[in-house]
Structure 1
Amino acid sequence: MKMTPKWWHDAVVYQIYPRSFCDSNNDGMGDLQGIISKLDYLKALGVNVIWLSPVYRSPMDDNGYDISDYQDIAAEFGSMEDMLQLLADAKQRDIRIIMDLVVNHTSDEHLWFTEARKSKDNPYRDYYIWRQPKEDGSVPDDQGSVFGGGAWEWDDNTGEYYFHLFSKRQPDLNWENPKVQEEVHKMMNWWIDRGIGGFRLDVIDLIGKEIDKKITGNGPRLHPLLQEMNRATFGDKDLLTVGETWDATPEMAKLYSDPARNEFSMVFQFEHISLTWKHGDKWNPIALDLPEFKRVLTKWQIELADEGWNSLFWNNHDLPRAVSKFGDDKQYRVESAKMLATTLHMMKGTPYVYQGEEIGMTNVAFDSIDDYRDIETLNFYKERTENGVAPETMLAAVHENSRDNGRTPMQWSNTDNAGFSTSQPWLQVNPNYPEINVDAALEDQNSIFYHYQKLIKLRKSLPVIVYGTFEPVFEEHEQVFGYVRSDEQHRLFVLNNFTASNVTVAVPESLQTAQAECIIFNYESHQQLSNTVTLKPYESFAVLFSA
């Protein structure tokens, strides 16, 4: 089936976590003017979309994912004037801004909630989810919060419990109330009128929840609500919309992203991410099973080939650094970071680059839990250690999977605080910044940065990368991930060694040709295709030839 081309099909998105990107006023916190000052850097990288993590007014209980005013900017990030300048300055560089939008819940300081808790007959009461206690005065049920503990919080003033799937300071909105829907749609249109390029919708699969049936994700009302949102807001606009959907299967993803259904452009799914979590528990990390990892990625490539669209990512503000999780962040940091980039960017879908990924930033291992700031990390460390998990075991899990791994300040230079700020940053910088920083990357023509730059250019110049079919090669191989992309003009053979060992593979006969051009590689010289290929540790390359 021929896809109708969209501008975001060959786009590459760069995610910015504002508080950790660049601090312009040296208060230790990144801000909008800091982002503006780095737009030329992003233009040089080649990205044409910025996904901006929340900058709305917020008490920052969950670093901005607890919004107290959707139509104002948090003072630590700047002003609405700064936001409008960012939109305008980015547009001059052909960069669109997609806003991170959280509408499953608000902050407990949002006007709607401060009004709702005043009395049971307040006009805003039904904007949220309330239940009376059981006869014995206990919580309505045993549903849990994603951040640990229960999902019901007692409100003294009105003598009822309110529901929160995340922090108790993030009460869930009641999407069964048409007024909530209208308010959210009105706010979204307000932002669209200001020239944004779209929305990333946080935990959007939770808005169709049925509390009393204990259905949270993918409830029966979800897709009708999304289709109504589409009709009322972005549906007739040429915008990029991506939903965060933790439990999505390919079948679910088609419901979200099939253009005929009028919901989203694409979704984030996390099946490949959770493979390193034992029984789905991120605080119980396990080694990557490469054959299973390949099966998952291949399944998504094939299942969404003709319906819907894939988002391609290794990491984000909630996840550990890609090179630390899937590569080798020590001896082969550069090689494995380039290999991961090639693996991802040659697949079908829209790639997302998380800030610092393009220079190979790594996880951080702070000595003490006191050095961490992430509410989820702190809550689970406390809960698990109080329940008998050894502190050193839990700290090791934090080192591997804490959300703060992706939130340490961006490493711009080898000067104090990595050039992020002249003041003490809100979260410590990674101690490896003297070696790993933007200045060093820009000076080295063989750096990870220039590898990303080349991958982005290739995507914009070769339709086979954007629309070609996907065929796995070496499916059961324990060390190598290979695949072929094909269209009427070209075939593209991509081969990636996911290990620190040399690996020899037999090249399929159909791919043995002297006419092949190696278009990207991560060692000093590129491979020639013959009967066999021996890959060095984390070696990766892509070969293009006529179909």
Structure 2
Amino acid sequence: MSIVAQAPWWARGVIYQIYPRSFQDSNGDGVGDLAGIAARLDYVAGLGVDAIWLSPIFPSPMADFGYDVADYCGIEPMFGDFAAFDTLLADAHARGLKVLLDFVPNHTSDQHAWFRESRSARDNPKRDWYIWRDPAPDGGPPNNWISDFGGSSWEWDEASGQYYLHAFLKSQPDLNWRNPDLRAAMMDVLRFWLDRGVDGFRIDVLWHIVKAADLPDNPVNPDWTPNRTERDRLIQHHSTDQPEAHEIAAEFRALADQYGERVLIGEIFLPNDRHARWFGTVERPEVHMPFNFQLIENAWNAAVLRDVIADYEASLPAHGWPNWVFGSHDAPRIAARVGEPQARVAAMLLLTLRGTPTLYQGDEIGIGEVVIPADRVRDPQELRQPGLGIGRDRSRTPIPWDASPFAGFSTVEPWLPLNADWPTRNVAAQDRDPSSLLTLYRALLSLRRGQPALSIGDMVLVAGDDDVLAYERRHDDVRLLIVLNLGSQSRALILPADAIVMEVLASTLPARTLADVLAPDEGLVLRLASVR
């Protein structure tokens, strides 16, 4: 058996994130759904990806668009029912696609039956399933913690005379993972979906799930400035990344491993040294991949990204597998951040780095900045902290499939506005254009699938000209050189001293003949031959 076949699917594959509300509406209500996703699976499979990750599809009041879960073992009627889910799962598997769900363990909706019970009385058996505390001596909140969405992390409950903790909206009370009954119930949730046949989970805000036992004040951030979110006034030292959370992650992993090649991807926003701890150890592994957001968080600059890649690779334990993400339902669009020409270079970077890439829906057609009129803002984070540029609606707009009314997404006005250029920037238009970004993505995904050097090979950073990020991918005797011009000026093509170019395997430009100069905004994948 080849080493490619031996590697787990999640290490050699590519994950495609679907935001269900915005992928395809099948019933004319302006909101995407499971049947709509199923109807577009041929498109997804045709891209050349290996798995789809669905943002939450569970019953929810939608205060935070599904990240406020009211029932972990149900389907939100807006998206369909279990029959629709089972059809989607079977149809995806029939096309060779894995299906990952979004597991939200830190908090529930305040409409969840567990919280209704917990809130009903101090002596209710589920009271301790959430984090309740008496007021501080002055009658105020128990500590100084700040919600990620602004304001205190504590909400007063008049009926029971205590505060409950919420790291996000007040309608998203935090669960108490120190309670063994809660912990067992959440393990049963994972077991429910694994038994149903899902292939793994992306675990939302995993580093949040345990808090310091005595809930001390968080330290003040001396570097905070008013143009940053209110949350950043404090350093979340006691409210996140507690040692006990790793024991829970290891328990998740032990359960997943009972089901074969399932994958757990943890959402972790931490510095490299703390981020790497979430792999666990060989003896007690935790998540397969702590999500790596550094391509989103750092400047689009060759020198900066070279250091980011080197530092991240150096931080990985020997048993750790890297991963990269450039876009998500929370982050500004790639094309909006770096411009359309560089979005092509970004595609090549994402799909040729060592590790598992996650591609976010719509980035493959270069959806850029989408202006959301004030009266159509839906994101609670933006509504609570306007003017900071942190709104997430701009990344959640519907996919434009074609130039028909409402872009083929729906038969009515979608829940969020379409990108303004949707009549020309849509899947159908790019599908017909051999020079489109969509065509480039398909070509790069095909190349990655056919070249073990790109999927599981080693990586070595090499020298490049100014504005050029360059690295080799190697497997057996195959050497591939990736050179990316992150600038708008031509740059020299610098080859390793012991190599010559045998073939141009891919270019971000429509046509390419070998030369010793990189064009502006150009990326190349070159097959090398070693010379002595």
Same fold (TM over 0.5): yes
The CA distance in 1 between the partners of 2:488 and 2:331, in whole Å, is 23
Hey, what does 2:304 align to over in structure 1?
A: 292
3-state SS, counterpart of residue 394 of structure 2: helix
* Residue from 452, 455, 470 that aligns with 2:441: 452
- Residues 324-343 of structure 1: pairs in structure 2 closer than 5 A: 324-325=336-337, 327-328=338-339, 333=340, 335-343=341-349
The CA distance in 1 between the partners of 2:343 and 2:29, in whole Å, is 32
Hey, what does 1:436 align to over in structure 2?
A: 425
* Residue from 44, 47, 58 that aligns with 2:49: 47
Higher mean alpha-carbon deviation, 518-527 vs 221-230, is at 518-527
Letter in 2 for 1:253: A
Give 1:302 shift.
4.1
After superposition, give the CA deviation of every residue in 1:221-250 in whole Å (9 maximum; x if it has no partner).
Answer: 011111122224445521011000011415
* Residue from 464, 472, 477 that aligns with 2:461: 472
After superposition, give the CA deviation of every residue in 1:474-529 in whole Å (9 maximum; x if it has no partner).
Answer: 37x65111111123221111011112222235433223x15x21111122332526
Hey, what does 2:82 align to over in structure 1?
A: 80
Hey, what does 1:521 align to over in structure 2?
A: 507
The CA distance in 2 between the partners of 1:454 and 1:50, in whole Å, is 19
Letter in 2 for 1:315: G
Letter in 1 for 2:498: S
Give 1:290 shift.
4.0
Pair 1:121-2:123 in alignment: yes
Hey, what does 2:228 align to over in structure 1?
A: none
Letter in 1 for 2:380: I
Higher mean alpha-carbon deviation, 299-308 vs 118-127, is at 299-308
3-state SS, counterpart of residue 29 of structure 2: coil
Letter in 1 for 2:452: P
Pair 1:403-2:392 in alignment: yes
The CA distance in 1 between the partners of 2:256 and 2:9, in whole Å, is 19
Contiguous gaps of at least 5 residues in structure 1: 277-287, 382-393
CA contact (8 A) 1:301 1:347 kept: no
The CA distance in 2 between the partners of 1:306 and 1:226, in whole Å, is 19
Hey, what does 1:373 align to over in structure 2?
A: 378
The CA distance in 1 between the partners of 2:438 and 2:75, in whole Å, is 31
The CA distance in 1 between the partners of 2:281 and 2:331, in whole Å, is 27
The CA distance in 1 between the partners of 2:335 and 2:196, in whole Å, is 37
Pair 1:218-2:247 in alignment: no
Cα RMSD over matched residues? 2.0
After superposition, give the CA deviation of every residue in 1:36-61 in whole Å (9 maximum; x if it has no partner).
Answer: 10001111111120000000000001
- Residues 28-427 of structure 1: pairs in structure 2 closer than 5 A: 28-210=30-212, 212-213=215-216, 214=218, 215-250=238-273, 252-256=275-279, 260-275=283-298, 288-304=300-316, 306-325=318-337, 327-328=338-339, 333=340, 335-366=341-372, 368-381=373-386, 394=387, 398=389, 401-427=390-416
After superposition, give the CA deviation of every residue in 1:378-421 in whole Å (9 maximum; x if it has no partner).
Answer: 1110xxxxxxxxxxxx3xx53xx531121011111122222211
Give 1:112 shift.
0.4
Letter in 2 for 1:496: L
The CA distance in 2 between the partners of 1:160 and 1:234, in whole Å, is 40
CA contact (8 A) 1:472 1:483 kept: yes
The CA distance in 1 between the partners of 2:21 and 2:375, in whole Å, is 19
3-state SS, counterpart of residue 103 of structure 1: coil
Hey, what does 1:284 align to over in structure 2?
A: none
CA contact (8 A) 1:206 1:218 kept: yes
Hey, what does 2:230 align to over in structure 1?
A: none
The CA distance in 1 between the partners of 2:426 and 2:290, in whole Å, is 31
The CA distance in 1 between the partners of 2:242 and 2:513, in whole Å, is 50
The CA distance in 2 between the partners of 1:471 and 1:233, in whole Å, is 33
Q: 1:252 to 1:235 in 2, by over 3 A?
A: farther
* Residue from 518, 525, 530 that aligns with 1:535: 518
3-state SS, counterpart of residue 492 of structure 1: strand
The CA distance in 1 between the partners of 2:480 and 2:280, in whole Å, is 26
* Residue from 453, 466, 481 that aligns with 2:469: 481
Q: State the identity as a percent.
A: 36
Hey, what does 1:385 align to over in structure 2?
A: none
Give 1:311 shift.
1.7
3-state SS, counterpart of residue 385 of structure 2: helix
Letter in 2 for 1:520: A
Q: 1:229 to 1:523 in 2, by over 3 A?
A: closer
Give 1:24 shift.
0.5
The CA distance in 1 between the partners of 2:358 and 2:139, in whole Å, is 47
3-state SS, counterpart of residue 55 of structure 1: coil
TM-score (norm 1): 0.88
